Structure 1
Amino acid sequence: MRKWGPLIAVSLGAFMLLIDTTIVIVALPEIGRANGSSYADLQWVMDGYALALAALLLGAGALADIVGRKRVYLVGLVLFTAASLLCGLAPGTGTLVGARVLQGVGGAAMLATAIALLGDAYQGRDRGIAFGVWGAVSGASAALGPILGGLLTEHVGWRAIFLVNLPAGAVTLFLAGRMLRESYGKRDARVDVPGAAAFTVAAGAATYALIRAGGHGWSDRGVWAAVAASALAVVAFCVVESRSAAPMLDLRLLANRSFTGILVGGMAMQFAAFGWVALASVWLQGVLDHGAVQAGLMLSPLAVVAFVVSALSGRLLHGVSPRWIIGGGLLFIGAGVLLLSRVDAGSDWTALVPGLLVTGIGVGLGAPSLAGAVLGTVPPAQAGMAGGAVNTFRQLGFAFGVAVTGVLFRDKAESMLDGAGLARPGAAAEALAGGRVAPGAAGRAASESAFASGLDTAVTVCGLVGLAAGVLVILLVRTSGPAAAAPREAAVERPRVAAN
């Protein structure tokens, strides 16, 4: 137990924070019904968490190097667990979204320190085993999320998907406090607070603009005010980072085609592979009237196939250049998501299966290779920054994917409902996105057709993004050797160890 205690403590934390990305998906219709939430509200339940993770990962890693990685991990774990309690007790959607943001803050502290803690705890062959187990647990969390979320939502209630983190968090906190040892990076480093603030505003304002456009249309002044705020924040971020002695992201790395290609690939992968999943969950439950457990099982082929393929690809594709693995994975994702556009008003859940299987192959190929590939594009001294950057862009891809698909769905569904002669098609489209079909036989038929068309539009765009990103990665990335060849020893600077 003593030898593998650090691995258990870090892996349990990873399981908690990563499963909370997917466990909420099948609970969205129930959350919406219980709180009278619009689809925009439900988008924020997912994106509040993803944006906090994305915005704070790099800053949390820098802070941990200074004050101690174990300390930051424990603080993040306590905050995540406390925020889970707030989620479970939330009286309304606003409180739930706020608590989800706090969850993301805690999750960022945990995720930013996980690799470094494992790197300090293990050496040689044991380190390889530890990273392999940690990666497998991370993959399993995505596979189990929809199923566990469905079971808890249907048999206990949606609040249980958050409250289950309380005993898990207590056990993890006990193990982490006893098993992990403190370690540090560069104690004289600085936390790039201005850069983190500008990045947070840029990402948050852009996501707000997209989600607001889905509910109010592109003519809304608030949408364009958010777009302007995001653009100004991007400019401020670039100015701050170019002048900072210790930038959150060294902008000179973007001149490296391989580095930039992998960042774009990671962002597009999450956008294409997962941006539409919430809409599919709403379709299964709100339109086809399946239960939450059934919806979780119906969506699980993607994650299950991804888990199996990721385990096999590490052995079978050793020696293959990462541009072919990541680029090929994106092409599979693009093709698989485009297969989902076969859904029509008369389809049942089996129409999703071919697309889910092909998409799962792509995720299993590409996702595990991103971290190793990006480390191979930068000097060892910048490995931590590069690893944090690719995780940040992946979370941004998920957040933007959820927001963009919501806009696409609403525009198409409103157009279809208007053509069917329904009164107030905009309001009807918003209700439909939350799983509430129009009353009456004619209203239900129009709703089924409109939802299928909106979903098809959303997945078509996601599929095209995946295909385009796959081609771009193949053209840009020139890292030689296998994706796994980036030395894991370089991924974690050898930390100085202090007594517990």
Structure 2
Amino acid sequence: MSTRASTERTPRTRTGAVLAAVVFAGALLPISLTGASVALPGISDDLGSSLPAAQWVVNGYDLTFASLMLAAGSLADLFGRKRMFRGGLIIFTLTALLAAFSPNVLVLDILRAVAGVGAAGVLTAGSAILAQTFQGQARAKAFAVLGTAFGVGISFGPVLSGFEVNTLGWRGMFLSHAAVGTAVLLFLVRHIKESKAGEAGKVDWPGTLTFTASLFLFILALVQGPQWGWGNPVIIGSLIGCAVLLAAFAVVEKRQARPMFDITLFANPRFVSVSLVPVVLAFGFTAVLMFLPSYFMSVDGVSASTAGLILLFLTVPTLFLPMIAGTLTKYLSNRALMTLSLLVTAIGAAWLTVIAPHASMALLAGPLITIGVGFGISLGILDGAAVSTVEAERAGMAAGMFNTMRLAGEVVAIAAMGSLLVSFTQNEVSGGIGRFSGAYDGSASSLANTLVQGTLPSEAGKVGSGARGAFETFASGGYTSALHSALWLLAAVCAVGAVGIFALLREKKPATASAVVTSAQDAAEAPAKDKELV
């Protein structure tokens, strides 16, 4: 019996359970990302870690998540999507449980990196499972639901995590992730039927290792470059190693009968264009989502839960827009919706420059909602559009590359935003920090790191009471100016990206009837002209 025939006869109860398994597991992934960002100040205080060490709680997860996405997608096609999905979820759940009992930041960073390995398996195999289980309009609806699940994770991740950090501590946050993962494993995964790529083959280890290692070194350089310095031998070596391994990957893939990644996918302009959209959006949405909590906690002195509540203006639209965008595909092309998504996000990022210390919610609601709307539109169409550009047999591979670019884009955006904020803030405060020399013994660099980490209130507590108010005002003003500069850059990236994506996705006009006739006449006359020339 063919795969398609068996899929069409699948009972609704089982397909519903399959969708639920992928959706609940998929929602955990953004919750784990956004939740960790809200918990960073608490983790830093509890474990006594520095800013770079604490940031690896987020960066380590994203790094392995992005680096292994393509390998996980291809291995899922080869060994089985259900097997990869279940194995990835087991790894993710177990590491969340162990993270709750981390004795120091090094152990926590390592566990978070391993969690990213599991997340790569969950997301790529889950997307391929939906592509294999559903067909036609049902597939579009299934991916819209998955997009909504990501919206739920993004929307409520900061709020739930902030509440857990304030009531149970950051360890309780990781325990909740483990509980949800366990429930999916026990009650839903068993309803998934195994599926593989149609042709048997073996693991493309040379391609897997060269690509994964090259992306790992690239992201490592981006994350640590601002902290260690771009002239650091490790950073330079990582960039050189990335280039060498990427070239080796291209060579070995051309010699493989069944490569991990079919490079001809990059000859498909629609697939490339769709894959670039989340990369650009990461600068307008993900980077803002990751660093706004630290701004509110540093400048306004609010708690983690309050910062999460403020972010609801940004994240709640991502809960509703995916389903709306799925409906709009009946009336608007994907090209129009993707361009609209980028433009709306650009407008929101530029508008957010109204942010200021103790700004009212009425002032911030408009720009935050606008950014959320722009990003939410994309969640309802991108996953389905990416896997629909290829045949079902290569769904895992396509999902792997698409999500690799999405996650790599997020890592790049987060690293770039962090670097920009620290650099801009340092420039803003360096000129005036001297007047606090008798009350504050830190440098402009340490103050910038403190602000971006979200721990200004504790740092200001070290300043004498007579100068504390002026110091907080000075530091908050510098951080605000730096954030404004970064937001203008993010808006520009999204606006330029909108123009580029619109151009890349344009349809080729079919030849007119007169052009076809002229072409045929020229072809018919060509032999006669050739004879005359002879």
TM above 0.5, yes or no, is yes
Equivalent residue number for residue 51 of structure 2: 39
Structure 2 letter corresponding to 1:458: A
- Write the distance in 1 (CA, Å) between the matches of 2:135 and 2:229: 55
Equivalent residue number for residue 443 of structure 1: 471
- Write the distance in 1 (CA, Å) between the matches of 2:164 and 2:152: 18
Matched, 1:236 2:248: yes
- Could you tell which deviates more after superposition, 125-134 or 42-51? 125-134
* Unaligned runs of at least 5 residues, structure 1: 481-500
Q: CA deviation at 1:102?
A: 1.1
Matched, 1:395 2:407: yes
SS in structure 2 at match of 1:73: helix
Structure 1 letter corresponding to 2:82: K
Q: 2:75 aligns with which of 49, 59, 63?
A: 63
- Write the distance in 2 (CA, Å) between the matches of 1:123 and 1:464: 38
Change (3 A) 1:130 1:312: closer
SS in structure 2 at match of 1:441: helix
Equivalent residue number for residue 253 of structure 1: 265
- Write the distance in 1 (CA, Å) between the matches of 2:168 and 2:370: 33
- Write the distance in 2 (CA, Å) between the matches of 1:252 and 1:184: 21
Q: CA deviation at 1:281?
A: 0.6
Structure 2 letter corresponding to 1:473: I
- Write the distance in 1 (CA, Å) between the matches of 2:189 and 2:325: 35
- Write the distance in 1 (CA, Å) between the matches of 2:233 and 2:353: 33
- Write the distance in 2 (CA, Å) between the matches of 1:160 and 1:469: 39
SS in structure 2 at match of 1:89: coil
TM-score (norm 2): 0.83
TM-score (norm 1): 0.88
CA contact (8 A) 1:410 1:429 kept: yes
SS in structure 2 at match of 1:246: coil
- Could you tell which deviates more after superposition, 308-317 or 162-171? 308-317
Matched, 1:433 2:452: yes
Render the CA deviation track for 1:232-259: whole Å, top value 9, x for unaligned: 3332333333333333333233233332
Structure 1 letter corresponding to 2:117: V
Change (3 A) 1:137 1:32: same
- Write the distance in 1 (CA, Å) between the matches of 2:18 and 2:107: 34
Q: CA deviation at 1:159?
A: 1.1
Mapping of residues 88-487 of structure 1, within 5 Å: 88-121=100-133, 130-186=142-198, 188-345=200-357, 347=359, 351-379=363-391, 381-422=393-434, 424-437=443-456, 438=460, 439=463, 440-478=468-506
Q: CA deviation at 1:2?
A: 5.3
Equivalent residue number for residue 9 of structure 1: 21
Q: CA deviation at 1:103?
A: 0.9
Structure 1 letter corresponding to 2:62: A
Q: Once the two structures are aligned, what percentage of the paired residues are identical?
A: 31
Change (3 A) 1:279 1:125: closer
Structure 2 letter corresponding to 1:32: S
Q: CA deviation at 1:402?
A: 0.7
- Write the distance in 2 (CA, Å) between the matches of 1:299 and 1:25: 12
Q: CA deviation at 1:93?
A: 1.8
- Write the distance in 2 (CA, Å) between the matches of 1:121 and 1:316: 23
Render the CA deviation track for 1:57-85: whole Å, top value 9, x for unaligned: 22222222333222222221211111101
CA contact (8 A) 1:74 1:177 kept: yes
Q: CA deviation at 1:295?
A: 0.7
* Unaligned runs of at least 5 residues, structure 2: 1-12, 435-441, 509-534
SS in structure 2 at match of 1:463: helix
For the aligned residues, what is the CA RMSD?
2.5
SS in structure 1 at match of 2:258: coil
Q: CA deviation at 1:208?
A: 2.4
CA contact (8 A) 1:43 1:402 kept: no
Q: CA deviation at 1:225?
A: 2.9
CA contact (8 A) 2:127 2:399 kept: no
Q: 2:39 aligns with which of 24, 27, 47?
A: 27
